[in-house]
Amino acid sequence: MISLDEKEQLSRLKEGDQVAFEKIYDRYSTRVFQNTLRLTKSQDIAEELLQETFYRIWEKRSLIDTNKPIKAYLFRIAENLAYDHFRKIAKDKVLSQQLIDIASQYYDHIDEMIESKENNQILQSAIAALPPKRREIFLLCKFEGKSYREVSVLLGISESTINDHIVKAMRFLKEYFGHSGEAALTMFIAYLLSQ
């Protein structure tokens, strides 16, 4: 049975209310995280799956049934993502070997490219093109290695807001590098794979 409070939060979420989204995140994120951690046995993977679960909730909010508790829906999404992750790992082993083979063929070229001033400037320009708050959050999470929770406490904003900024920053940077040429895109993908 769904409580009146949750039904109201889901109705508001369905209309795009970010505060309602944050309340639902705050209410269920720990339990979803613990469940995905139990499945994956990896804190980093569980954190990624948690973020993806709530990203999907936000993206598909218009499909939410406000007459049903969201907890089961959240757990189902997270579990499906975990199973997809394991299927992807199996496929990625083959892909990883192919990437290693390709990378070894072009090692000298990539080494020169990474060291080149031009590509460093492209990377700096891409990051500088982010809005100030998003850039700050991106640098803290991706370059300084801080967790979403640490950045949340440091900046006094919710983890769901941190997640939103990171998702949008990554989307922007992938598009930016896609327009900056194949070599820069390869460098950016190599950086992402190392994270």
159-185 pLDDT, tens digit each:
999 999 988 988 887 787 765 555 555
Q: What is the pTM of this model?
A: 0.48
- SS3 for 131? coil
Domains of the chain with CATH codes = 4-84 (1.10.1740.10), 106-194 (1.10.10.10)
Q: What is the mean pLDDT of the chain?
A: 81
Please report the sign of the dihedral spanned by the C-alpha atoms of residue 44, residue 50, residue 51, residue 56: positive
- DSSP label of 195: -
Q: How confident is the model at residue 85 (pLDDT cuts 50, 70, 90)?
A: confident
Tell me: the pLDDT tens digits for 13-54?
A: 999 999 999 999 999 999 999 999 998 888 999 999 999 999
The single residue listed with the structure tokens 């959240």 is: 74
Q: Give ∠ CA 16-64-77 in degrees, rounded to 5.
A: 110
Share of the chain above pLDDT 70, in %: 77
| R_g (Cα) of the chain, nearest Å | 19
